[in-house]
Structures are given as structure tokens and as C-alpha cells.
Amino acid sequence: MVDIVSPEKRSAMMAGIRGKDTRPEIVIRKALFGLGWRYRIHDKRLPGKPDLVFPKHKAVIFVEGCFWHGHDCHLFRMPTSRQDFWQTKIDGNRQRDVRVRTELQELGWRHLTVWECALKGRTRLPFPALIDTIVEWLESAEPVGEIEGARDGAGRSD
């Protein structure tokens, strides 16, 4: 498929995508804050500067973009142009994710990954159920968690 914008415009568009304070991250933060949860954001003292840090629970949450981290869902498709660049970029992100989570576990921190597909697209989960699942994980002793969109496409009942 041919890109409908110039390479310069596409480059500017990609460069404008935020790495933190993304819309999915902010909606989760606001919902949890509204329920009384208090957290820090992007704590530089922890590996990977997690999106949300709950020191009292020794837990962190990463809200990950499916494209940037090569998630196996409908929101990720490898670009057809500059495939070597994108493969290297996404593989590097995945390797860093594994390393950061391993370091966090070694430091005694629990981690939860919330994938973008749980919040948008045809596989999104009902938002109240998503927040309930996050809260359940925070209140549990589970060391690792992951929330992704509905695999059968039956998620959009909100």
C-alpha cells in the first residue's frame, strides 16, 4: 500500500507521537485517581520510568502502545516502507521491555502492562471493567499482570 502523505510529512507525524502522557495513560490515571488511588508518574528512580508507580503497593503500571511495542493485535502492522528500520526499532523496544520488567522484579516491584488495544479499536474492553481489572491486580499479590483487548472481538460492550 502506498503512503498517502509525503515522507517528510510522515516523519513529522511520527515524531509528534508522545512517549509519555498519552491519552490512554491519562484516562487510566484519571479513573484511578477518581477512585482514590494515589501514584507517582514516570519515576526516574525506577527502571523504565513506569507510567504509574504505586509505592505503597510496590507496583507499577505500563500503558503500552501496540504499534511501538509490536503487540500481537489488530492495532499492530509492520510498515511496508523502511522495514529494516522498523523491525530494528520494534525489536529494540521489545528487548528493553523484557529487560526493564526483569530489573523491576529483581528490585521487588510488581508490574502490570495495559495494552492500547484494551482501550481502543474493535477489541477494546468496557472501560469500567478495565479499571476494575486494574484495581483487582493492584489489590492482589500477583507479581505480573497483562491486560489486552478481547481476543474474540467481543470487547465493545460499553
Which pLDDT score, from 0 to 100, does residue 7 have?
66
Q: Which has more pLDDT, 116 or 11?
A: 116
CATH of 19-147, one of 3.30.1340.30, 3.90.440.10, 3.30.1180.20, 3.40.960.10: 3.40.960.10
Domain boundaries, the chain: 19-147
Binning pLDDT at 50, 70 and 90, where does residue 48 land?
A: very high
* Residues paired with residue 114 on neighbouring β-strands, in sequence order: 63, 147
Which pLDDT score, from 0 to 100, does residue 3 have?
60
- Predicted TM-score (pTM) of the model is 0.85
pLDDT at 21 over 50: yes
Q: What are the tens digits of pLDDT across the range 53-83?
A: 999 999 999 999 999 999 999 999 988 888 9
Which pLDDT score, from 0 to 100, does residue 158 have?
47
Mean pLDDT of the chain: 90
Q: How far is CA 40 from CA 74, 89, 104, 117, 148, in A?
A: 31, 28, 16, 24, 23
Per-residue pLDDT, averaged over 25-44, amounts to: 97
Closest CA to 54 of 32, 34, 69: 32
Q: What percent of the chain has pLDDT over 90?
A: 77
90 contacts: CB under 8 Å, gap ≥ 6: 68, 69, 70, 78
Q: What percent of the chain has pLDDT over 70?
A: 84
Report how far residue 34's alpha carbon sits from residue 28's, in angstroms, rounded to the nearest whole number: 10
Report how far residue 61's alpha carbon sits from residue 51's, in angstroms, rounded to the nearest whole number: 6
